[in-house]
Amino acid sequence: MIVRIPRAVGRVLVSAAAVLATGVACVGMAAPAQAATYVKGFDVSHYQGTINWASQYSKGARFAYMKATEGSSYRDPNFNTNYTNSYKAGFIRGAYHFARPNVSGGKAQADYFANHGGGWSADGKTLPPALDIEYNPYSGGTCYGKTHSGMVSWIKAFSNEIHARYNKYPMIYTTFDWWKTCTGNSSAFASTNPFWIAIYRSTPPTSIPAGTATWTMWQNADSGTFPGDQDKFNGSMTRLRALATNHD
């Protein structure tokens, strides 16, 4: 994925437990919050070349997204291999579509995606189809020449078509900065679509699309233990399987 976002410097937090361990009095200090539960994963395209999926599973990754399509004519040449081999290695996996809203309509791109790998079934192994909507790496402006309302309408057309075909709303991958810039921080998808937020830092996203309760996935680095971009699911394996099982 092509993401132009600044890297934030994480803050080092000292827990109450750590302070207590030093013997220093902590009158009035609240008990430390329970650590968040995350599942590790990653996302790839053909740029990562051949991937040893069994090896990545042994390193602790449990889910993966892989590029299937872009616009209304491009298919990632490694998608079929990645999709099949990740499944055989035990991954919960899903496909993503790189949006190009100035090339064709949202419905047309959703159909192209669905017809070339972007399907979904409630088998507990397939993540929601994902829409990668972000800074335009080509000509046509950051927001692909669309107004806030025009962009929201385009995303809505894509989302509704995926839902009509699979009774499952797509995951929306974006950065908060792009979402604010190009949709006006729309809350139109807060009650339907899970959000996959990209921000490269050590602490989870705190700025998320308006009305959204929390982020579902977080792309936290563009390199690391696993191939491609590094991701975290906001919850346990049980919740991840539920996302791959339940209809909307």
Which residues are marked as active site? 43, 132, 134
Classify residue 100 as left (phi > 0), alpha (psi -120 to 50) or beta. beta
Round to whole Å and give the CA distance between 195 and 197: 6
| Nearby residues of 2 by Cβ (< 8 Å), 6 or more positions away | 134, 135, 137
| CB of 154 closer than 8 Å to CB of 106 | yes
Q: Tell the residue number behind the tokens 């990653």, with chain if given.
A: 42
| CB of 213 closer than 8 Å to CB of 157 | no
